[in-house]
């Protein structure tokens, strides 16, 4: 199955791209995708991921990293942002 990973702000910077696709086995979990992403993008991405929220199809995953993924899911990595005056 194909799952899309969307990366914003610091996650985009660490990965060097704003989106990617992963082919995962049926029954894969969110943790499986995130482990594959860290393997692809390295330690800088892992550091950003440690402080980020991760959503599946616009919602927080009910089971955290143990949430099952489905084909055509979009997983977004949302690092904390700062700013304002």
DSSP single-letter state for residue 82: -
Going by pLDDT thresholds of 50, 70 and 90, the confidence category of residue 81 is confident
Whether the Cβ atoms of residue 41 and residue 35 lie closer than 8 Å to each other: no
pLDDT exceeds cutoff 90 at 64: yes
Question: What's the confidence (pLDDT) of residue 49?
Answer: 97
Superfamily the domain 2-78 falls into: Beta-grasp domain (3.10.20.30)
Beta partners for residue 56, in sequence order: 59, 75
State the pTM of this model: 0.93
pLDDT exceeds cutoff 80 at 47: yes
């Amino acid at each position: 199955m194909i799952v899309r990973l969307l990366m914003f702000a610091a996650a985009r910077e660490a990965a060097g791209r704003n989106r990617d696709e992963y082919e995962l086995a049926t029954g894969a979990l969110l943790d499986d995708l995130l482990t594959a992403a860290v393997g692809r993008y390295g330690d800088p991405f892992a550091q950003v991921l440690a402080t980020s929220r991760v959503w599946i199809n616009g919602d927080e995953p009910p089971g955290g990293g143990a949430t099952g993924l489905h084909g055509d899911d979009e997983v977004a990595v949302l690092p904390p942002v700062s700013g304002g005056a």
